[in-house]
Amino acid sequence: MDKKQQAMQAAIELFATQGYEKTSIAQVCEAANVSKGLVFHHFKNKDDLLRQVFVRMAEIISEVGSNVDASNQGLSVKERLINLFEHIFVSMADPKQKLFYQFDYQVKCQPSMRLILQDLLDERYQLMMASFEVILTEIPTANYPVDSHMLIAEIDGIALNYLFAGEDYPLAQIKQRFINKYLLLLGL
């Protein structure tokens, strides 16, 4: 792994666990065993580091996500919806991705970070809307754009509460109730 990657790796960990504002470039350098000059050689400034880190993180998450689409080939709508839900819940419980999600919620909720990443956030939201669209538009009882917004929001809320709660959050049971609820709502 080259030094630039080392720096980004250290940055993502520190941003997620301490927050972007609370993380100094000096800390990133120490954690990555890299000099300050190196960081400012590869990244225009701290905001640029944030953006590149965010992009890299989104890539990693979507690499994982692309498997679902592949495995959904030839299944019924109901099965594909359940598959998608299962994938999402598995992914948020994956310890390797926990950091990414924590980081993500910080970005969403901190006005100053939102500003820096606005375009990237919007782009990703469109992607998520699209991935629900292909399923929901096949279900006559679905209320397409509204249900997609709602789904995204609710999953966000569950992930947020799960990530920042203690050990005993009943994620598995919530998942079951959540899926039941949608199957009922959509008459599947």
Partner DNA sequence: TATGAATGAGCTTTCATTCAT
Partner DNA sequence: TATGAATGAAAGCTCATTCAT
Token pair for 16: 């997620």
Sorted by sequence, the CB contacts under 8 Å of residue 148 that are 6+ apart come out as 129, 132, 133, 136
Q: Does 105 bind its own copies (CB under 8 A)?
A: yes
Burial class (CB in 10 A: 0-12, 13-18, 19+), 152: middle
What gap in Å lies between CA 87 and CA 102, rounded to an integer?
Answer: 18
Taking the least distance from each CB to DNA, the nearer of 22 and 114 is 22
Closest separation in Å from C-beta 124 to its own copies:
13
Residue 17, interface with DNA (CB under 7 A)?
A: no
Are the CB atoms for 135 and 77 separated by under 8 Å? yes
Region of residue 29 (phi > 0: left; psi between -120 and 50: alpha; otherwise: beta): alpha
Binding letters toward its own copies, positions 16-45, x by CB under 8 A: -xxx-xx-----------------------
* Alpha carbon separation from 33 to 13, 29, 127 (Å, rounded): 14, 6, 36
Name which position in 33, 123, 127, 145 contacts its own copies (CB under 8 A). Answer: 145
Q: Which of 31, 155, 179, 188 binds its own copies (CB under 8 A)?
A: 155
Within 10 A of 113 (CB to CB), how many other CB atoms are there? 21
Choice from 70, 74, 95, 184 touching its own copies (CB under 8 A): 184
Q: Residue 78 binds what, of DNA, its own copies, none (CB under 5 to 8 Å, by partner type)?
A: none
Extract the tokens encoding 73. 């080939």
The residues in 31-60 that bind DNA, with binding defined as CB under 7 A, are: 34-42, 45-47
Asked if 153 is part of the footprint of its own copies (rule: CB under 8 A), the reply reads yes
The least distance separating DNA from the CB of residue 53, rounded to whole angstroms, comes to 13
Does residue number 150 form part of the binding site for DNA (CB under 7 A)? no
Nearer to its own copies, 5 or 157 (CB): 157
Give the interface with DNA as residue ranges (CB under 7 A). Answer: 2-4, 22-27, 34-42, 45-47
